[in-house]
Amino acid sequence: MESNAFIWFAIVGIPILVALVWLIASFNRFQRLRQHIRESWSDIDVEMKRRYELIPNLVETVKGYAAHERDTLERVVQLRNAAAANHGSASSQAGDESRLMLGVKQLFAVAEGYPQLKADGHFLALQRELANTEDRIAAARRFFNGNTRDFNQLCRTFPTNLIASTFGFQPSDFFELASDAERVVPRVALDPGA
């Protein structure tokens, strides 16, 4: 009688126990990745806020040299305000960020026409800070997108997609900028006369 109970437990109980352990481990993996996505988005958000603080200073510096470029300067400020106000999904934020960076590209194009501005120490320092911030945003974006990729793979592959659908885990959006916006990182001349 005792051996029958052991055999029954081995046939029925062990597979159920293994399935339960797998279910718990998979659920925890989803939760862990979701938290990594939140943390990595927070890293992006911190750097974008830093950029939002640098851009008005950059605009004011350019304004001192290129006052007749008012439309471009106002447009950059409007784009900055729109991006700073967006608290939506990563894809929604990416659209605003792409438009902002294209506006900053226009701002640097305006600056190219003013040799005194390009040699201004304050302008160069702001350019350097913006370049460093863009590098940190790019690194944070890679980390965020890597976490998002791993999470989305779990949501879409069998058998973890069963857990995702059961517990309401939905694939996340990537934070992808338009390719033109990604190339806006300012060039910083080491020689102010260059």
* CA distances to 71, 107, 151 from 66, in Å: 11, 10, 47
Mean pLDDT of 128-137: 91
Question: In this structure, what are the phi and psi dihedrals at residue 172, rounded to the nearest 5 degrees?
Answer: -100, 160
pLDDT of amino acid 190? 38
Contact 107, 58 (CB under 8 A): yes
- pLDDT of residue 188 exceeding 50, the answer is no
Residue 178's closest CA among 71, 91, 120?
91
pLDDT of amino acid 194? 41
* CA distances to 55, 69, 99, 144 from 72, in Å: 13, 6, 13, 32
pLDDT in tens, 30-45: 999 999 999 999 999 9
pLDDT of amino acid 113? 85
Report residue 79's pLDDT band, with 50, 70 and 90 as the boundaries: very high
- pLDDT of residue 187 exceeding 60, the answer is no
Contact 147, 40 (CB under 8 A): yes
Q: CA-to-CA distance for 29 and 64, rounded, in angstroms?
A: 53
Q: Which domains does the chain carry?
A: 2-182 (1.20.1440.20)
How many C-beta neighbours within 10 Å does residue 112 have?
A: 10
* CA distances to 51, 52, 80, 179 from 133, in Å: 7, 10, 15, 18
